[in-house]
Amino acid sequence: MNEIEFGLDTFGGVTHDEQGRPTPHPQVIRDLVGDAVVADDLGLDFFAVGEHHRPDFAVSSPEMVLAAVAAATERIRLGSAVTVLSSDDPVRVYQRFATLDAVSRGRAEIVAGRGSFVESFPLFGYELGDYELLFEEKLALLAELVSGDPVTWSGTVRAALTEQRVFPTTADRMPVWVGVGGTPESVVRTAKYGFGLFLAIIGGDPARFVPYIDLFERAQDRFEVPRNRVAVHSPGLIAETDEQARELAYDGWLAFRTKLGRERGWGPAGPREFENEIEHGSLYLGSPETVATKIARTLTTLKVDRFDLKYDQPVPHAVQRRSIELYGEQVVPMVKDMLA
C-alpha cells in the first residue's frame, strides 16, 4: 500500500472580519496564496483551488491563482477542485495546466468536474440541457490531449481536430482526476479514461462510498486500464478544542447551509444537523485529536490514496490559517501514527 497523501482544498470562499463584514475578493485571493505557502512549509502534499462564478467565492480562474502559488512554493503539488470542464474548452484547459506544470516544475494536476453550481453555463453561453453531453464529450477530448500525441477527435460540442498538436508540451504526463459526487455512471466513466477518482464527500457517512471505490476497481479491470488513485475531499475546521471549533464554525455553517438550502429546495437546518455531520457525517470539525481520529477512521474504512481537507469555512481568515497550521503540525502526524 502506498503512503497516504494529505492535502488542502479551497474554493476561495469569502471570509469575514470580527464584525462580520465580508473580505473583498482581491484580499481573499492574496490570503489564499499565503495559505498555500504555509501548506508547503508544513510539508503537505497537495493544494487545490476550486472554480466558481458567484459572489460567495473569490476564485474563477484556478490556474492563475495556482501560478502565483507555484512561484512562491517549492514542493507541494497543485491542482484544481474542480475545473468546470463542461463550460470550458478542453484544449485551453490543457494548455493552461501545461503552462502551470512548466512554471511549477512538474507539480500540476487537473481535477475536472461538472461543478456543484451551474452559474458558468449561462455565463459562457452553454445550455443546461446539454449538461451530460458537454461533460462526456469534453472529458473524452481531454483524455486525448493529455496523452501527448497528435489529437484526432470529433464531437458535437466543439470543432473537430485532425492530427492536431497542442502546446506547450509537458515533461511527463500530467495526472488527471475526475471530481465525482457519487453516481455510479461517473465512477465508471472515470475508470474508462484511466483517470484518478476524486470523491467529494461533503455530507453523510463516508462509509457509503465503499461501493463506489469497489466499482472503480472493477471498472478499471473491465476496461483493462492500470489501477489509478482515489482521493477524498471533505470540509472541516480545526481549533484548539472541540468547543472552540463548534463556536467558531456554527454561525457561518448555518448561514451558508441555509442559503444553499433555499437555492436547492432543501429543508431548514439547525444544531441537530450540524452535530450529526460532526459526529457521524463528513464534517471534520474539532480539536486536533478529534479530527485526527475521524480522518483515521475514514481512511481505515475507505481505500484511498489521498485525503484533502476543504478548509475554507466561512470564518475570519486568521481562524482558517490556524486551522491549516493545526492540520499540518498535529493532525496529519497523528493520523499517520494511528494508521501505522
Whether the CB-CB separation of 87 and 130 falls below 8 Å is answered with no
Ranges of residues in the chain whose predicted pLDDT is under 70: 1-2
Tell me how far apart the alpha carbons of residues 133 and 122 are, in angstroms, rounded to a whole number. Answer: 16
What residues contact residue 218 under an 8 Å CB cut-off, 6+ apart?
Answer: none
Residue 333 domain flag: yes
How far apart, in Å, are the Cα atoms of 304 and each of 75, 176, 239, 335? 22, 16, 26, 14
Residue type, 337: D
> pLDDT digit string (tens) for 65-102?
999 999 999 999 999 999 999 999 999 999 999 999 99
Q: Which helix or strand (DSSP H or E) is residue 64 part of? A: helix 62-72
pLDDT above 90 coverage of the chain, percent: 94
Domain count within the chain: 1
CB atoms within 10 A of CB 270: 12
- 278 φ, ψ (degrees, to nearest 5): -70, -45
Whether the CB-CB separation of 50 and 14 falls below 8 Å is answered with no
- What's the pLDDT at 321? 98
Tell me how far apart the alpha carbons of residues 295 and 307 are, in angstroms, rounded to a whole number. Answer: 8
Q: Which domain holds residue 76?
A: 5-244+282-339
Residue 234 domain flag: yes
- What's the pLDDT at 151? 98
Residue 277 domain flag: no
How far apart, in Å, are the Cα atoms of 327 and each of 27, 104, 116? 23, 24, 26
CA-derived radius of gyration, the chain: 19
- What's the pLDDT at 268? 85
Residue 221 domain flag: yes
Residue 193 grid cell: 479514461
Query: What angle, rounded to 10 degrees, do the helices at 90-103 and 62-72 form?
Result: 10
- In angstroms, how far is the first alpha carbon of the chain from the final one? 12
Whether the CB-CB separation of 157 and 124 falls below 8 Å is answered with no
What does pTM read for this prediction?
0.97
> pLDDT digit string (tens) for 205-221?
999 999 999 999 999 99
Q: Got the DSSP string for 187-246? A: HHHHHHTTPEEEEE--SS-GGGGHHHHHHHHHHHHHHT-----EEEEEEEEE-SSHHHHH
Whether the CB-CB separation of 189 and 114 falls below 8 Å is answered with no
Which CATH number characterizes residue 304's domain?
3.20.20.30
Residue 25 domain flag: yes
How far apart, in Å, are the Cα atoms of 18 and each of 311, 314, 315, 316, 318? 18, 12, 9, 7, 10
CA-based nearest residue to 273, from 291, 288, 261, 265: 261
